[in-house]
Structures are given as structure tokens and as C-alpha cells.
Amino acid sequence: MSIMAGGDIAAVLGHPPCECSVDPALRSHHDRLLTVETDVAELLELLELAVTWGELDYSHAPVVRPSRWVDFARQHSWADPRRAQRIFTLAADIAARFAAIPRPAALTG
């Protein structure tokens, strides 16, 4: 999937122009998140990110953090707002659960 410059993807998807305060460095991931409702590949990417959040170091990755996903869903327009809310709430819950699982010292470095 090619990512368009900030805001363009919203118009293509039928979303009103986005006025959220996302960090410009996160705009590409933000725009990809706008597609999870209609793009199964992006939905799977979100779920993979959620599952691996506690395992991998994303501290320098240009991604919207799981702690912001539920608010992200609330701040944007969707074809089915309830479904979008379920997607992001589920993904945030998965990330929180996996982040809370203690890892053996051998895996933590």
C-alpha cells in the first residue's frame, strides 16, 4: 500500500480532513491506521504490532503508541464507528496484556 502525504488518504477514504494533533513524524503510521477498517492487511499489521508491543523495542519507531489507539478511534470519522472502536480497543487491550507478561531474563537482554 502506498502512503499519501498527510491528509490525502483521509480524502480518498471518504474521511473528513484530519485535524488531530499527531506528531508529523507519525503521519505515515497515522494514515495507515485510518485504513484498518477497510484494508485487512493493515488491520493485521495493527494486530501484529499489538502482539509484539511488549516483546520488541518500538521506542524509536515512528508509530502511534497503543496508549493512544482508543483516542485515535474516537478522534476520527469511520464508516462504522462502533466497529472502528472495537478494532482499536481490542488492539490496545492486546498490547497492554502482552506488555504486562514478564519475559525471561534471557529474552530481555
Residue 100 lies in a domain: yes
Residue 77 lies in a domain: yes
Residue 1 lies in a domain: no
User: Are the C-beta atoms of residues 3 and 31 closer than 8 Å to each other?
Assistant: yes
Residue 87 lies in a domain: yes
pLDDT (tens digit per residue) in 3-44: 334 445 455 555 556 778 889 999 999 999 999 999 999 999
Structural domain of 104: 24-108
Residue 53 lies in a domain: yes
pLDDT (tens digit per residue) in 55-70: 999 999 999 999 999 9
Domain count within the chain: 1
Instruction: For CA atoms 9, 15, 18, 22, give the dihedral sign.
Output: negative
- Give the global pTM: 0.77
